[in-house]
Structure 1
Amino acid sequence: MQSTGRVGTEHAQVGEVFWAALPLPNNTSGDSVEIEKARFTEIPEGLKVGEYRVFDTEEVGGIYLLAYSGGKYGTKDPEKLTNYAGNSIHLKGRQESDYYFAAKITVTGPVHGDLGGCSFLYNQQGREYKQKLPCQTAIRLGRPLPDNN
């Protein structure tokens, strides 16, 4: 979804922290791959990336494309989910992952552009590869959403 569209919010506040998902890994080849890491390569002024984690879609109940830290608005708190970073994601040929990468994003000021350029580092048959996928996550300052918690 993220590699074909744009996700985001127009209600961010300076100091707020979000978790932004990168595209769900999908091995379209016939050979197994080991995905080592994924990163946003385009980080606009006004946003700061703190860390990357790997989450299990089963534990999350899907994928949080963009989630507030702290479990705001009824989501599970990404900070309290198991972090599988440090272990590579193994995908057999023609398999979609049950795990996804997400970046911890802090809003530091007015945002000038989108998070983008999702880059994956993986190994296949003993060779290292880097693949960049199009992706866009827009975080903009605006009126805060009402907190119903």
Structure 2
Amino acid sequence: MGNEHTRVGEIWYFALPVPYNTSSKPLEIKDVAVEHIPPGIRVLEYGAYDLNDTGGLPILAKEGGPYTPEFAKLKNYAKRPVEVAARKESNVFYLAKMKITAPPKDTARECRFAYEQGGRAYTQTLDCELELKVPE
């Protein structure tokens, strides 16, 4: 995933993989992060939003873009743990709000989810990758 026509100062929203609980017990997601953030990109915050409120999954969206949801006006579920029922996909997805501070030197990648299930804490890192390029 990426965009080759970005500019320094722009803010982009990058959706992390939608959580899917394959187990027979519910789980609660406590924290998420993109593990590898290259020089030139700064994560401003993480958010969690209902797919129904955003009209689907905005995998990559530029702030102020014509199809970008107005996240500031939507309920942000990241303030408390998000529960995912057993054998179900979550209705809530997470995203990283990122600012381009300089031409990025690499891709942002590796999405980490920290969750609890049955009173035990777990961490799972999933493949994800974002390339934002600033033309020279």
- Which TM class, normalised by the smaller chain length? over 0.9
- Given candidates 55, 59, 70, the residue that maps to 2:49 is 55
What is residue 80 of structure 1 aligned with on the other side?
73
Please list the CA deviations of residues 62-86 of structure 1 after superposition, one character each: whole Å capped at 9, or x if unmatched: 111111112x133322233221111
Q: Which residue of 72, 80, 90 corresponds with 1:97?
A: 90
Letter of the aligned partner of 1:124 in structure 2? Answer: Q
C-alpha contact 1:13 1:141 (8 A) present in aligned 2: yes
Equivalent position SS for 1:12 = coil
1:120 CA drift (Å): 0.3
Give the structure 2 partner of residue 146 of structure 1. none
Q: What does residue 5 of structure 2 align with?
A: 11
- Normalising by structure 1, we get a TM-score of 0.87
The amino acid that maps onto 2:68 is T
Paired AA for residue 59 in structure 1: D
Which secondary structure state, in structure 1, belongs to the residue aligned with residue 110 of structure 2?
strand
Partner of 1:4: none
What is the CA distance between 1:34 and its match in structure 2?
0.6
- Alignment pair present for 1:113 and 2:127: no
| Contact in 2 for aligned 1:67/1:78 (Cα 8 Å) | no
TM, length-normalised to structure 2: 0.94
The residue number in structure 2 matching 1:25 is 19
SS of residue matched to 1:112:
coil
Q: Deviations over 1:16-45 (max 9, x none)?
A: 001111110000111110111110000011
The 2-side partners of 1:111 and 1:74 are apart by 24
Tell me how large the CA RMSD over aligned residues is: 1.3
**Aligned equivalent of 1:68, options 62, 69, 82:** 62
Higher percent of residues as strand: 1
Aligned mates of 1:108, 1:68 — CA distance in 2: 15
**SS state at 1:59 partner:** helix
For structure 2, list consecutive stretches of 5 or more residues without a partner in the other structure: none
Amino acid at match of 1:87: R
